[in-house]
Structure 1
Amino acid sequence: MMKYLLATCSLMALLGMGHSLPALAQSTPSAPATPKSAIADNDLQKFVSAAKKLEAISIDRNTQVTQAVQKEGLTVDRFKEIFLAQKDPKATTNQISNDEKQKFDRAIAQLNTIQKETQTKMGSAVQAEGFEVPRFLQILDLIQKNPDLQKKVEQMLKSAGR
């Protein structure tokens, strides 16, 4: 459960969330810096709340991605094969027909839209909990590096009924 939650939160970094709201981050005065190894309980509670929202957004995104690929007439496995073949031309894969290539390209266009929407939703979810994205990512990094914090977050999730 904790690993999935941390992976979901890490998705923000992979989607470029640390860079998607630069104007807002620059215009908002910074809160006093919390010592790198300490996170206030209030911030940890807000982190857990935001992380739960991010998990729901991630699940929704996964559903949308699967539907977008299938809507274009590809299976998820075939989409992955084509994707990997394009990344590594040396990869062994079944021949890609022109029809499959067109379906793949249309699916990629939809996935790019889904990614942008996901970035917006995730940024809003984090901000709704009172964080700027860089601070949220800083807390995530601290939790990932500290087993004691991981246990504390796990306990908070359990007591919140997750």
Structure 2
Amino acid sequence: MFKSKKIAGLMLTVSMFASAAVFAQTPQLPQQQQQQVEVSDAELEKFATAFQHVRVISMEAQQEMAGVVTDEGMEIQRFNEIHQATMDPDVKVTATEAEKKQHQKIITNLETIQAGVQEKLEKVIGEQGITPARYEQIAMGLQNDPALQERLKKTFDK
């Protein structure tokens, strides 16, 4: 079920911090510690380079995952509806037995893809000289720190 949450994150959105879904096993910091992250200019450069690679890998993975869903004969929107219902008891969706079997087959295929994507992401982030945990920490810090966001923007503009 934990893997399914990561898959749902990859399937439902293409976001700036898509890697957070893949590295969800990294311990989460308390909210107050997520707000400010000290990042040197050199480390931000490494993050920016890794981020560009992560974004490409994430987009390719999402395309591949969408292909799996459609290749199995299910529309992505319907897959997401059924998947959300399996993840959240407050979401009510009626699915036929055939759809439930189809959904489970898709999940099995997506878990295989997700494992490969995680390896690629860890490798590309590591190649930049930062750990996946530190990458996620910086990404989480960016969500809450406008000054860090501006520094990253300037790094991309170089």
Q: What amino acid sits opposite 1:148 in the alignment?
A: A
The percentage of counterpart residues that share the same residue type is 25
Distance 2:49 2:133 in 1: 17
Per the alignment, in what secondary structure is the counterpart of residue 110 of structure 2?
A: helix
Distance 1:11 1:88 in 2: 17
Task: Show the counterpart of 1:8.
Answer: 18
TM-score if structure 1 supplies the norm length? 0.73
Task: Show the counterpart of 2:33.
Answer: none
Per the alignment, in what secondary structure is the counterpart of residue 124 of structure 1?
A: helix
Distance 2:71 2:40 in 1: 46
Q: Tell me if the contact between 2:66 and 2:76 (Cα under 8 Å) persists in the aligned partners.
A: yes
Deviation at 1:37, TM superposition (A): 4.8
Which residues in structure 2 correspond to 1:71-90 (within 5 Å)?
71-88=71-88
Deviation at 1:98, TM superposition (A): 2.4
Deviation at 1:84, TM superposition (A): 2.6
Q: What amino acid sits opposite 1:147 in the alignment?
A: P
TM-score if structure 2 supplies the norm length? 0.75
Distance 1:44 1:85 in 2: 38
Per the alignment, in what secondary structure is the counterpart of residue 118 of structure 1?
A: helix
Closer/same/farther in 2, CA of residues 88 and 150 from structure 1, 3 Å limit: closer
Q: CA RMSD in A?
A: 2.3
Runs (5+) with no aligned partner, structure 1: 20-35
Deviation at 1:90, TM superposition (A): 6.0
Which of 1 and 2 has greater Rg?
1
1:69 aligned to 2:41?
no
